[in-house]
Structure 1
Amino acid sequence: MNPELESHFDEFDKAPVIRRKLLPWWIKTFCWIFMIMGLCAIASLVINLFIPNVNLSLYGFSSNTAFSGIGAFIIAIMIFKGFAAYSLWFEKPNAISIGKIDAICGVVICIVSMFALPFVNNGHFMFRLEILLLVPYYMRLNKIEYEWDNLEIL
């Protein structure tokens, strides 16, 4: 082909490689749920300025106000989970690492809430079902990490 007639727009005709295709449907669904949850966490801070009680609960921890130690802890977790979901959905290069940290933190927090909270609150042992999704989430991210890191995004 004559170099003078070669189009410089040929690269736009290539189908883009999309990392999001590596994610299963259930992770894509939870990405949206956690992005919305992260926005709700930020909104709860603002709402709690005007309304005295904002009920927060995550991984077995709960609080009636965003401006307490437990409340700030829950808000921070929700925002981090939202950030991890955002990173995965928008195909950020470090999304898999952030997601794996999110999964590990979630498992650790669930274990603490299962074994430590019953002693503090004089309650009973309660198995956290979140672990049943956090472990496969971590395993799937671990499985797709190499391909995610080695895809070329146009």
Structure 2
Amino acid sequence: MEESQTHVSSPFEALQETKSRRRDLLPWWIKTFTWLFMLMAAVVPIGVVMGLMGLSFTMSLYGFETTNPISPTGIALTLLILFKGVTAYGLWTEKDWAVRLGIIDAIIGLVACGVAMFVLPLVDRSEGFVLNFRLEPILLILYLLKLQKIKPTWEAL
């Protein structure tokens, strides 16, 4: 009679084998943008302080640009960048809410890009109607689709 030998592993090893990291669900390009937006969110408060001191600070996102962080455009950009930073932090630290917030972030980004590409040229007629096609919507659509695809697995882990 042969005895079968089984490998006895520690509970810690078993846990590592069965539980994968949520971060591993993210492709390299989302991980790269995650770091970029966390860095941008960390720098934005410096720009706000500079704006309060009367100094200029260039901010740009989704086709909106300003050198005054205290202007309406600057405040909107500050809020967008901080929102993206919180989303990026949540994705990087594998928070339960991160993918849901990322989906909202992608939708807000697509709306903002649409406004910048199609509405602003109609409102600002100083140079005539100039259609400004941006590449961000392509990445935002890919981001949205990827987050929707990994959402069930993310929530199950």
Normalising by structure 2, what TM-score?
0.86
Query: Which residue of structure 2 lines up, in the alignment, with residue 3 of structure 1?
Result: none
Query: Which residue of structure 1 lines up, in the alignment, with residue 133 of structure 2?
Result: 127
Large movers: runs of 4+ above 6 Å: none
Unaligned runs of 5+ in 2: 1-9
Larger Rg: 2
Aligned runs of 1:98-113 on 2, under 5 Å?
A: 98-113=101-116
Code of the aligned partner of 2:30: I
Counterpart check, 1:97 vs 2:100 = yes
C-alpha distance in structure 2 between counterparts of 1:11 and 1:35, whole Å = 35
- Select 2:148's aligned residue among 139, 142, 150: 142
Query: Which residue of structure 2 lines up, in the alignment, with residue 33 of structure 1?
Result: 36
1:50 Cα deviation from its structure 2 partner: 2.9
Aligned runs of 1:16-55 on 2, under 5 Å?
A: 16-55=19-58
**1:5-63 Cα distance to aligned partner (Å, 9 max, x none):** xxxxx433331521000001110111000100111112211222335211111111111
Superposition RMSD on alpha carbons, in Å? 1.5
Q: Which moved more, 1:122-131 or 1:90-99?
A: 122-131
Q: Which moved more, 1:97-106 or 1:49-58?
A: 49-58
- Select 2:65's aligned residue among 62, 65, 74: 62
